[in-house]
Structure 1
């Protein structure tokens, strides 16, 4: 929308066109006088004429202005020529017509001044409307830029959240794989513990059978000793010593098996504790994954709402907006967890 020219600017533009049309100085001053008085209703003065035209000396606009007023007075005088009309009556009629013309001119000038005042008010109101429209346009453009910047920031944050979600998913898969390996190791240790228990049971049964056989031999020896106490006393003593030694060996083996069983049970407890720690880390990562998915859904809804509310002309992303990557949030550490460590198997 183009600005409405002020009266001074319009007058200066008109005088510029008159300078090009009238190269002679006196003619130019006479045309400027007529322009100011008849079109713009401004009473011309010598100083004002010289300030507007800037040609010749200061005496030139004064002389031209005097000629302009003389011509105007001569043209405004009304002469009534009639052959049968007396001279004094003709002069009075001329004065009357001149007075009427002057009053009509004054009334027209007043109406023109009123019209000019209304036009000036309308011009001021139009300028105010233009200024208000420009302010509203500036606020709209500022709001549009802010919404565009917010949309770009939301898009960058969505990409960062998707990246963090992918990293969390990869970390969750790695933890699940590690948990599967630990479960397989725990199952292998359970099978090994079962085998150790079965071996211990077999050894204990053998020791019991040996003890029973020893007791049977002892009973036979006692029977034979009853028959031959004196002759078999030394044999019975030897058999008692062998029995004591076998019992001590059995007790030592039993103690060894018990210590091995306790060590396996301790390893089993450590494995179960490690599996519980890994399960806790997996639960924390799953909760973080759910939170990230919720944030991504919220940001996508905000982006869709911003696309629906902003004007269609702002759909294109400005090329001068700098995209700043947001730092990736590190994964939350589970208290007490030591990933990558395994307890050595003790026998």
Structure 2
């Protein structure tokens, strides 16, 4: 029996004891005995609990201690006579108990080693058995394959025998057909020989005809070659003047192209000259306009100077002040005339709207100062001084010539 079977038998014994009314301690002690003496296993709480399925974590150790106490009690040597002292007797019992335990340990180790050896032998035997089974299966498979090959070979032999018989039959038939074919081929060979002789005679006639054609072809070739040579000479005679004319045309074309290039170059130079002349004309035109503006300015300055050269600036300033203050009458204005106009300055803003810039106009030697914004006007006057004084006085007066 293996270890599992032993454990199962111990469980059955414990179950029967439990049914007979055994207590927990008795079950635990019985389990310890079986484990220690029968299985060689040191009793532990887990092993005892696994077998008895009863007891707590504090009760089972107590039962195990009781088991060991009984073992020690049974191991002590009790001597009836009082020759050995009590202490020596107890010590001897303990030594015997220790010796027994050591013997059990040694027996267990020997048992384990023997069990391992037996287990290894069993493993080797099982391995050999498996290998033998594998070899047996391989042998059986090889035998089956050999039988199959033998059956196939016998089938092949029978098929070949049948084919051989068929081939023999066919060989006889083929022999007959071969003889008839030989006879037919002999007849055809004789016919072909006669036909070959006829063809050879025909080829001889054709060969003679080919020789005659070769001679005729040679003559025709020489004749055509002479004609081609004459035609080439005639063509060269006709082409030479054309080539000369072509050379002259090429020279004329080269001359024309050079002339065209010269004309293009001259045209480009002429265009450049025109552009330069135009730029120069533009510069002269701008200079002329600038000089014209300068001449106009100088002319105006000359006119102003001519008007101012006969009047003292102080007198002219006095007259302007009197006119602006309204202390000169119309007759006095007419008497003064345009003598002081060169010293009269135009107002920058209109005194009425204070936004427009007054504009002075002269029509038929009559001066008028007018605002383009509010259309305030001085009216026509005999001089600029009169027009300015009227414009500033906001009193337009119409005077007759």
TM-score (norm 1): 0.45
Q: Larger Rg: 1 or 2?
A: 2
